[in-house]
Structure 1
Amino acid sequence: MTDPIKIDVWSDIACPWCYIGKRNLENGLAAAAGDEDAPQVEVTFHSYELSPDTPVDFDGDEVDFLAGHKGMPRANVEQMLERVTGVAKDAGLEYRFDLLKHTNTVKAHELLHFAKEQDAQHAMAERLMSAYFVEGRHVGRIDDLVELAAEAGLDAGAAREALESSRHLDDVRADQAQASQYGIQGVPFFVIDGKYGVSGAQPPEAFTQITRQLWAERLTPADEALTPAE
């Protein structure tokens, strides 16, 4: 059997471009899935904290956070959020920055690693990002994360144990160390087949094209790929 194309995604669930990038990746792969020889793709999410110094309970809204954290004028922050909201809408996402509860995301990343053990990482990533950007749910406290884990189909008790014990913190740190080795300085960042790095929330067509190209190369025997000598 032909090995699947591996796409490793470094992201933070509190990164607005990461949710857009996730949706664009999914839409791009869905477009290729209808091909006669559809690419087989395996997607894995990895941890990246944009603001690890953020408190679990931040006193203020998203404008307050960005204005203070990045030193940007509030008017500029509001314009930036309006632009991101528009891009998200084009991807089928309804961002609600007015509801968003900014928080530390390390426990959410631990939960994603727990979900990966249960073969439910994709469902958990979707639940966390939707809860954060669309529903205004808190994704930094253990009690809230356990509720979201249950909503994603995971065992609440097992999720709580994993979070309270910090059992997956080393996995989060390993992802971050790998990101540093790759030289990743911003997310989303996609590593495709361990060879190609793609930065930013690329359009769906970009993911469709690269997966089709790589899959075609996999299906072409090496001897057929060579040009006969004259």
Structure 2
Amino acid sequence: MKFKAAAYHVIVITGLIFGSAFAVQAQTLQLVGFGDSLMAGYQLAPKESYTAQLETALKARGHDVVITNAGVSGDTTSGGLSRIDWSVPDGTHGVILELGANDALRGVSPEQTEKNLDSMLARLKERNIPVLLVGMMAPPNMGGDYGQRFNAIFPKLAAKYNVPLYPFFLDGVVTHEDLQLQDRMHPNEKGVAVMVEKSLPAVEAFVKSLPTPK
């Protein structure tokens, strides 16, 4: 009888340990960084990408979070729209949505870019997945009219869907050659660190706004 009682207690304790482990795992926020090469970490090691550095920064501030990198180099908003359903899996607690830079570089109509981003936001809303929208700015060589139409997309959609907006992903990097790769378009590891530092307050506020995972 003593042996059976001891075995019973071992089973109970083991169950409690594993149950606690699963409970802790269930509380981890699962985020997805959905975007183009700026999100993917073009020519950078995986640990140097925006999502990796951001996850490290959030964990250092006490947040239990995992950020999946769903960035695809060269992606436009049309490409993002075509893959968003399967690139953002069920169980995702929040999405950092960053697309549009390649649309501007290719001269895609701002109206089409807006339509694609609108559809992505609508699909995520249907799935009850909160979004932090990340804005971009059109390059000056596209002209003033194009720039005004393009730059207005992000605050307009943020207001329409009542989602937080981080206005410019390359803030603090775009005019600093020492923070860029040789192509003068993509950030290097130090540039990404600046992007993380600049965007961290907005991302942290977004993380704090998310419902506690069950």
Larger Rg: 2
TM-score by length of 2: 0.26
Instruction: Compare relative contact order (CA 8 Å, sep 6+) and give the higher one, 1 or 2.
Output: 1
TM-score by length of 1: 0.25
